[in-house]
Chains A and B, each alone.
Chain A
């Protein structure tokens, strides 16, 4: 199995905290795979309802994990949304949140591929 290339996530922080301990590395990867779909579903729901407060709260909550996984292209939109969630035009808010959701979907695929790759390597 070929090692998947990471375009959306950066594993530097993960490698630093796991220090070669695969068990610890898996813990963070699996937690990402569990938490992010739950939060993106909440985010989609809040977006449909145009619930600005809820959007801010979900983004605020998920932001540290996304930073830790080096998903840098969502950092700026999240910070903007956190500051301007009440005043931003709804169209722009929609565009930014959708951009974040698309990026997270791709990051999630990468994390899943990485989990599969690591598990496969462990078994062989």
Chain B
């Protein structure tokens, strides 16, 4: 079929396989489901054999997680839409890596949006999955790379290069080493959600700080940073901040 998109569904729930397959057939005639895989091992084999452009991948299967599957595939030359149930712990990792996901049992509007984003991304050579895999394999959070979706594609920011993030209503400025600064269209709260368990702390309503760039023990509600700037600690956050500072790992 000319211009068609080949896809695989990898999920160990036959109900989900049928439901997604039926919705794709009904609403997306240009998408061809090459196969439905019942588990991770089957998924790995079918990806190598059928070379799909798109894989709908369950986050949690009985034999492995979706992320584990990805680490076992030889060549990542496809894109992923994760499929998961309500409030799964992996959603945070999916968002951190700017990957797409759908909540089961699939809202049609969300499915349409995810397919639209996939079609737009087909033109890009950039595939966030490659960086996501590096992140998954990283032992330490400081070695990970934050991926933010932008209109131009994806912006990659090494966590160890981020000194702090400053909120400005619907936008945030990411202050990096070597006096670099990036403006991103995300609120500070949204970035906090991605970074709070990776050595960052919201010390003030407008500031998120990286523990690795605090140069000396904070005093008088101020923090000195590696780029010779100082940011405030709000009175409300004082106690929580010092607790975090004492217990968080400097590495």
Point out residues on A near B: beta carbons under 8 Å.
13, 17, 19, 24, 27-28, 31-32, 35, 57, 60-61, 63-65, 67-68, 79, 82-83
Contact = CB atoms under 8 A, between A and B. Distances in A.
The A interface is mostly helix, strand or loop, or mixed, namely helix
A46 B190 CA distance: 38
A110 B74 CA distance: 47
B154 to A, nearest CB: 29
A42 to B, nearest CB: 11
Contacts of B85: 60, 63-64
18 contacts: A17-B19, A17-B22, A17-B23, A19-B26, A28-B18, A28-B19, A35-B14, A57-B60, A60-B60, A60-B85, A63-B85, A63-B86, A63-B104, A64-B16, A65-B15, A65-B16, A79-B86, A83-B87
Nearest to A79: B86
Interface of B: 12-16, 18-19, 22-23, 26, 60, 85-88, 104-105
A118 B105 CA distance: 24
A28 B17 CA distance: 11
B42 to A, nearest CB: 17
Contacts of B60: 57, 60
A16 B58 CA distance: 24
Contacts of B18: 27-28, 31
A83 B88 CA distance: 9
B24 to A, nearest CB: 12
Nearest to A75: B86
B15 A35 contact: yes
A13 B14 contact: no
Given A31-B18, A64-B15, A65-B13, A79 B87 contact: yes
Given A28-B15, A83-B87, 9 more contacts: A13-B105, A31-B14, A31-B15, A32-B15, A63-B86, A63-B104, A65-B16, A67-B105, A68-B105
Nearest to B14: A31
B15 A24 contact: no
Top 5 A-B pairs ranked by shortest CB distance? A64-B104, A64-B105, A68-B105, A65-B15, A63-B85
Nearest to B58: A61
A64 B14 CA distance: 11
Contacts of A63: 85-86, 104
Contacts of A24: 22
A60 B18 CA distance: 18
A79 B88 CA distance: 10
Identify which of A57, A63, A64, A65 gathers the most chain B CB atoms within 10 Å of its CB.
A64
A61 B105 CA distance: 11
Contacts of A28: 15, 18-19
Contacts of A32: 15
A57 B85 CA distance: 11
A32 to B, nearest CB: 8
Contacts of B87: 79, 82-83
A27 to B, nearest CB: 7
Contacts of A68: 15, 19, 105
A32 B23 CA distance: 18
A83 B105 CA distance: 19
Contacts of A60: 60, 85, 88
Identify which of A27, A35, A60 gathers the most chain B CB atoms within 10 Å of its CB.
A60
B36 to A, nearest CB: 13
B133 to A, nearest CB: 25
